[in-house]
């Protein structure tokens, strides 16, 4: 048993409280990781706000990197001292979905007892199966991927969610091809990585759409060829004028319903809309099915970029080492755990690409 400091959500919509919790030792198939960096994702904030329900108290945080400090029985792919990323992708590796390359949709993810308890023995929920807003956590071995020595932990942490979600949506889900036109709605942390993915895939035009002119300027730095303000009267018409036609792929990387309502209007016949950003439960959008049917358009969801850790992380890390993928530039601020509520407030403002807790 280890005592760790962690940021605990005790009530939806309330500030987190930094407490000392007890962390159990890793069991079969599990690893203990000392967290060195954990980014704040908007999904964490949605859970903190109660947007997707769930039980409390809970420790959230799922975009992390650190070093293995202990391994449970049967673990052969990691050893104490290894640098690893920690992600919410927990997979059995045996079900039909895992076997077909869709571990993000695993039908039978391993079940493990909560690793955190309070002094009175009451359990604290491990949010998103990670609980990385803590000095240490225990996760299933399927949730880690090795990191090369020397990569900055703040940058490495972003690989766990923001990078693979955006880049994977462009490459794995949308399957953007050379010469295609891509529209990315939302130029935040995930959107910038979707733009990087579209660039790497060879898109001829990458049009960023956002309400913030500063974010459109940043989008160009990450590979967008053009930028359009979402507040323009008909941004989809502006996109068509720029590209000379509709988009082959439209990626919605924000959880804003107005973005989803207008997204199909950017599409060319045969184009595909990829839903990446996640609104609160119960929020709905609407399209005209006749248009989708008559034009052969498609809608697909992309969860965690349809990532396969063993396949995608080495490739992404190699791109980073070659200077072809930006990671360091995604880090907006570095914060101590005790300042997590300030970091969350700054993230809510929309100004940050990614705020990272440094342990």
Cα atoms in the 13 Å half-sphere on the side-chain side of 304: 22
Average pLDDT, the chain: 97
Query: How many angstroms separate the CA atoms of 17 and 96, rounded?
Result: 41
Q: What is the pLDDT of residue 224?
A: 98
Q: What Å distances lie between residue 116 and 25, 126, 145, CA to CA?
A: 10, 7, 22
Q: What is the pLDDT of residue 159?
A: 98
DSSP 3-state assignment of 15?
Answer: coil
Decide if pLDDT at 279 tops 90.
yes
- Rounded mean pLDDT, 75-80: 97
Diameter of the chain measured on Cα atoms:
65
**What would the pLDDT profile of 293-319 be if each residue is shown by its tens digit?**
999 999 999 999 999 999 999 999 999
- Rounded mean pLDDT, 22-32: 98
Burial of 292 (0-12, 13-18, 19+ CB in 10 A): middle
Decide if pLDDT at 351 tops 90.
no
Q: Which overall architecture, per CATH, does domain 2-161+306-358 show?
A: Alpha-Beta Complex (3.90)
- Rounded mean pLDDT, 196-208: 98
Structure tokens at 345: 């407030």
**What would the pLDDT profile of 120-161 be if each residue is shown by its tens digit?**
999 999 999 999 999 999 999 999 999 999 999 999 999 999
Provide CATH 3.40.50.720 ranges for the chain.
175-301
Strand locations in 211-305 (E) = 226-229, 247-252, 267-275, 298-301
Q: What is the pLDDT of residue 8?
A: 98
User: What pLDDT band is residue 30 in, cutting at 50, 70 and 90?
Assistant: very high
Q: What is the pLDDT of residue 253?
A: 98
Decide if pLDDT at 13 tops 90.
yes
Query: How many angstroms separate the CA atoms of 163 and 257, rounded?
Result: 23
Please name the residues in contact with 117: beta carbons below 8 A apart, sequence gap of 6 or more.
21, 22, 24, 123, 124
- Rounded mean pLDDT, 238-253: 98
**What would the pLDDT profile of 311-340 be if each residue is shown by its tens digit?**
999 999 999 999 999 999 999 999 999 999
Give the end-to-end CA distance of the chain in Å, rounded to a whole number.
Answer: 20
Provide CATH 3.90.180.10 ranges for the chain.
2-161+306-358
User: What pLDDT band is residue 44 in, cutting at 50, 70 and 90?
Assistant: very high
- CATH number of 175-301, picked from 3.90.1520.10, 3.40.50.12160, 3.40.50.720, 2.170.190.11: 3.40.50.720
Structure tokens at 302: 């992309």
- Rounded mean pLDDT, 44-64: 97
Residues 126 and 55: beta-carbon distance below 8 Å: no
Q: What is the pLDDT of residue 1?
A: 85
């Amino acid at each position: 048993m280890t005592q760790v400091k962690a940021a605990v959500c005790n009530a939806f919509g309330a500030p987190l409280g930094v407490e000392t919790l007890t962390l159990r030792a890793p069991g079969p198939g599990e690893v203990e990781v000392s967290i060195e960096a954990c980014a704040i994702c908007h999904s964490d904030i949605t859970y903190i706000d109660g947007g997707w329900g769930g039980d409390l108290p809970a420790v959230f945080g799922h975009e992390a990197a650190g070093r293995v400090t202990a391994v449970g029985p049967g673990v052969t792919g990691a050893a104490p001292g290894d640098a690893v990323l920690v992600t919410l992708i927990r997979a059995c590796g045996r079900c039909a979905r895992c076997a077909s390359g869709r571990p993000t949709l695993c039908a039978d993810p391993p079940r493990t007892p909560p690793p955190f308890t309070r002094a009175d023995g009451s359990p604290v929920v491990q949010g998103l199966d990670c609980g990385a807003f803590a000095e240490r956590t225990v996760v299933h071995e399927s949730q880690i991927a090795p990191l090369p020595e020397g990569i900055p932990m703040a940058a490495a942490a972003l690989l766990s969610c923001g990078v693979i979600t955006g880049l994977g949506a462009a490459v794995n889900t949308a399957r953007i091809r050379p010469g295609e036109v891509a529209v990315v709605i939302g130029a935040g942390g995930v959107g910038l990585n979707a733009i990087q993915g579209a660039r790497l895939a060879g898109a001829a035009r990458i049009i960023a759409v956002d309400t913030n002119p500063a974010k459109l300027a940043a989008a160009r730095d990450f590979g967008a060829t053009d930028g359009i303000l979402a507040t323009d009267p008909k941004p989809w018409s502006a996109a068509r004028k720029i590209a000379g036609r509709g988009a082959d792929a439209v990626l919605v990387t924000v959880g804003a319903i107005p973005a989803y309502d207008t997204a199909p209007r950017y599409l060319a016949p045969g184009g595909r809309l990829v839903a990446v950003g996640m609104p609160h439960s119960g929020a709905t959008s609407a399209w005209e099915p006749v248009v989708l049917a008559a034009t052969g358009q498609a809608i697909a969801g992309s969860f965690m970029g349809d990532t396969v850790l063993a396949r995608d992380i080495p490739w992404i890390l190699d791109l980073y080492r070659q200077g072809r993928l930006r990671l360091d530039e995604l880090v907006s601020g570095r914060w101590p755990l005790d300042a997590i509520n300030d970091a969350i407030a700054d993230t809510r403002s929309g100004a940050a690409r990614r705020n990272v807790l440094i342990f």
